[in-house]
Amino acid sequence: MIMEQPLDGRRAIVTGASRGIGRAIAEQLSRAGAAVALIARSGDDLEQVATAIRTGGGTAVPIVADLGHDDPAAVARQASDQLGGVDIVINNAAVLEPLGRSGPDIDPLAWRQSLEINVTAPAMISFALLPQLLAAGWGRIVNISSGVAAHPGAMVNGNAYVTAKAAIEGHTLNLAAELDGTGVTANVYRPGTVDTAMQRLLRTQDPDKVGAFLPERFNRLYERGGLIPAQDSALSLVRRLPDPGNGQILSVSDPVPR
Ligand SMILES: NC(=O)c1ccc[n+]([C@@H]2O[C@H](COP(=O)([O-])OP(=O)(O)OC[C@H]3O[C@@H](n4cnc5c(N)ncnc54)[C@H](OP(=O)(O)O)[C@@H]3O)[C@@H](O)[C@H]2O)c1
């Protein structure tokens, strides 16, 4: 007998699905029954994720795109065409850089590019897909943020990243208010401190370039076993998708339905 899964028949797009939290979310969505479009720049990594999902009996469509350069709305439409529609949008892709002292040490183009990838692309993807979500009367938009949005002063020398995470939360909660009562929800997810390439990048920063604060803080956290596995964070989000509320700042530390 085949067990019904909570997201059977749903179609999801996940940005930044080539590794880390995005990959884990895509895998957990597939286990919960959804077909997934996987978006990132690294084609070989995406193929590996897609193969793993298909081997487990799921449906996965890899789409190579650079959300800092390609048109995010066109990427969203391509994903929708390939899946035959979209019900769930997980805007997870983000970059940490540029890191360093604000002012001459930060390349203004890199600062703008960070906001393009971390804020503008998620908004444009959601806007491109909203008409079909609204027409269906059911949809889930989740924008991945960070706990740093609640403590903007805590990540010294990470001005672009912190600005972006604060902005994505404002964007999401405002959109949620607009969507109230439509069946389409928009929520933020703060995934916790997760053992990924982004965390490695923080630990391996050159103190001469970015200051000692960031690498010291994140190395201490790593050494005391303070990182959580990506699959745990992903499962915590995916379990909530059937009934996530609207306009919520969801966090990995919240209780999760079984
Ligand atoms: N890890 C943590 O502790 C932590 C904590 C709080 C919040 N978060 C958030 O969680 C999310 C995932 O983080 P992570 O730790 O899994 O990071 P990660 O390991 O660095 O993965 C980032 C993902 O984004 C993709 N990406 C980056 N730039 C892109 C671009 N221009 N176009 C398309 N895809 C792009 C990367 O793929 P390609 O390189 O293949 O393009 C990769 O799949 C991010 O929103 C991050 O801010 C993470």
| Phi/psi at 86 (5° precision) | -135, 140
Is any atom of ligand 1 closer than 6 Å to the C-beta of 159? no
The pLDDT tens digits for 33-43 are: 999 999 999 99
Annotated catalytic residue within 80, 114, 145, 233: 145
The pLDDT tens digits for 8-47 are: 999 999 999 999 999 999 999 999 999 999 999 999 999 9
Is any atom of ligand 1 closer than 6 Å to the C-beta of 184? no
Q: How many helices and strands in the chain, by DSSP H and E?
A: 10, 7
Q: Which two tokens stand for residue 57?
A: 């009996």
| Phi/psi at 10 (5° precision) | -80, 155
Is any atom of ligand 1 closer than 6 Å to the C-beta of 193? yes
C-alpha distance from residue 177 to each of 16, 46, 172 (Å): 26, 34, 9
* 161 catalytic residue (yes or no): yes
The pLDDT tens digits for 55-82 are: 999 999 999 999 999 999 999 999 999 9
Q: Provide, rounded to the nearest whole percent, the portion of the chain with pLDDT above 90.
A: 93
DSSP 136-189: HT-EEEEEE--GGGG-GGGSTT-HHHHHHHHHHHHHHHHHHHHHTTSSEEEEEE
Tell me, in angstroms, the distance from the centre of ligand 1 to residue 66's CA.
12
Is any atom of ligand 1 closer than 6 Å to the C-beta of 90? no
Is any atom of ligand 1 closer than 6 Å to the C-beta of 232? no
Interatomic CA distance for residues 92 and 190, integer angstroms: 11
| CA-closest residue to ligand 1 atom 13 | 21
Is any atom of ligand 1 closer than 6 Å to the C-beta of 93? yes
Mean pLDDT of 170-191: 98
Interatomic CA distance for residues 39 and 190, integer angstroms: 20
The pLDDT tens digits for 219-242 are: 999 999 999 999 999 999 999 999
Give, for ligand 1, the residue of 19, 64, 189, 232 to mutate: max count of ligand atoms closer than 8 Å to Cβ: 19
Nearest atom in ligand 1 to the alpha carbon of residue 198 is 20
* 236 catalytic residue (yes or no): no
Q: Identify the CA nearest to 55 among candidates 79, 31, 22.
A: 31
Average pLDDT, the chain: 96
pTM (2 d.p.): 0.98
Is the pLDDT assigned to residue 117 strictly greater than 80? yes
Tell me, in angstroms, the distance from the centre of ligand 1 to residue 144's CA.
9
Q: Where would I find the beta strands (DSSP E) of 180-224?
A: 184-190
pLDDT grade, residue 3 (50/70/90)?
confident
User: Residue 258's pLDDT is what?
Assistant: 67
Tell me, in angstroms, the distance from the centre of ligand 1 to residue 10's CA.
23
User: Residue 61's pLDDT is what?
Assistant: 98
Tell me, in angstroms, the distance from the centre of ligand 1 to residue 181's CA.
31
pLDDT grade, residue 252 (50/70/90)?
very high
Tell me which DSSP letter residue 194 carries.
B
| Phi/psi at 119 (5° precision) | -125, -55
Neighbour-count burial for 127-150, b at 16+ CB within 10 Å, e otherwise = ebbbeebeeeeebbbbbbbbbbbe
Tell me which DSSP letter residue 84 carries.
T
Nearest atom in ligand 1 to the alpha carbon of residue 42 is 40
Q: Identify the CA nearest to 171 among candidates 79, 249, 71.
A: 249
| CA-closest residue to ligand 1 atom 1 | 194
Interatomic CA distance for residues 41 and 17, integer angstroms: 9
Is the pLDDT assigned to residue 210 strictly greater than 90? no
